[in-house]
A and B are shown apart, each in its own frame.
Chain A
Amino acid sequence: PFFVNRGGLPVDEPTWERMWRHVGRIHPEGERVAQRIRGAADLPKIPIPSVPAFQPSTSIPERLEAIQRYIRELQYNHTGTQFFEIKKSRPLTGLMDLAKEMTKEALPIKCLEAVILGIYLTNNMTTLDRFPISFKTHFSGNYFRHIVLGVNFGGRYGALGISRREELMYKAPVFRTLSELIFDFEKAYHRCWHTLKKVKLGHCVSHDPHSVEQIEWKHSILDLDKLTREDFRKELERHARDMRLKIGKGTGPPSPTKDRKKDVSSPQRGQASPHRRNSRGDRRPSGEKKPADSKAMPDLNGYQIRV
């Protein structure tokens, strides 16, 4: 289960009790965890991290490192209860108010909260483009979702975020193309036995913290089961081009492809697909069952590698 605190802070009693009940259910020591912590007089005092402030001379890559350190200092939230409610359809201004609250309250966060925080902390970096990148992966019979904040500085791509896994969050802005960045994430997923299934790429987010625009979370939706490797790369680069065009012209036209927000099942939607020979090696023929995991996952009491 996935619990969200919807009542603001301090956490209200029903939500608080639900958090502890959940911990009691999932931790091997059960309720002893709660008994040790609740009401304890000697809990360590956790300082509130300072929001990074920069000299004008600090480079963008250095700022990104500092922002990532700040996000990391809040810690990944393993409690099972998310403390800040994020409604993705809210106008940017509302999400920025929430980000400000996150910096004031300084509690552990999860990936979506880190994206909102990343946007807030980079708003004054007008030469840095930010866009959300969402991943859907498969592991041991289940699907998992994760999101990071893609960044582009001077044509180099990177990412900010937070994850249970070190390799699935911060990426320094050194990748020459968007494809290289995404492939790096794919390899990182593979190293923890996750198979990448879908990537959703948002458009660049406004730098105006008072903007009433909504974040566009899924400008491109790429289904890896339906794309060859080369087509996947091409669609990623198409998205990168769309972002450049939109930035360059203000509201430039996207690359000429119909139904951009629908899943990409073939790269030539709305046009006659060119007949391909020997290019479907990466795709499963239709009607075939999904292959079983090539390695049987050891059963660790149903442990799932979450990201």
Chain B
Amino acid sequence: MEPSGAGRKEKPKPREPAARLEKAKQKSAQQELKQRQRAEIYALNRVMTELEQQQFDSFCKQMQTSGE
């Protein structure tokens, strides 16, 4: 007696290409979001780096003044 299902071809799942397409779209959206965030992070980092440098320079000047 043949086991059930033997010799029968499996029907292709029609959802697979759609699922793959969806996954590709999500990946692309994620990549775009990462690129956008990266641009904003570096723009922010520039502003915060300038702030830190200004504060450090002012502090150094004050230290020199108080030293004199």
Q: Which residues of A contact B (CB under 8 A)?
A: 9-11, 16, 19, 23, 27-28, 33, 37-38, 40, 43-46, 75-80, 83, 105-108, 164, 193, 295-298, 300, 303, 305
Contacts and interface: CB of A to CB of B under 8 A. Distances in A.
A75 B43 contact: no
Given A46-B39, A193-B63, A80 B55 contact: no
Interface string B52-68: 10011011001100110
A230 B43 CA distance: 47
A107 B44 CA distance: 12
Nearest to A11: B37
Nearest to B67: A295
Contact of B66 (A11, A75, A76, A295): A295
A303 B55 contact: yes
B41 interface: yes
B44 A33 contact: yes
Contacts of B22: none
A107 B51 CA distance: 19
A106 B67 contact: no
A77 B52 CA distance: 11
Interface in B9-66: 30, 33-34, 37-45, 47-49, 51-52, 55-56, 58-59, 62-63, 66
Given A38-B40, A298-B62, A300-B62, 10 more contacts: A37-B44, A37-B47, A40-B43, A43-B42, A44-B39, A44-B43, A77-B45, A108-B45, A193-B63, A297-B63
A78 B34 contact: no
Given A23-B44, A295-B63, A295-B67, A9 B34 contact: yes
A43 B63 contact: no
Given A27-B51, A44-B39, A75 B59 contact: no
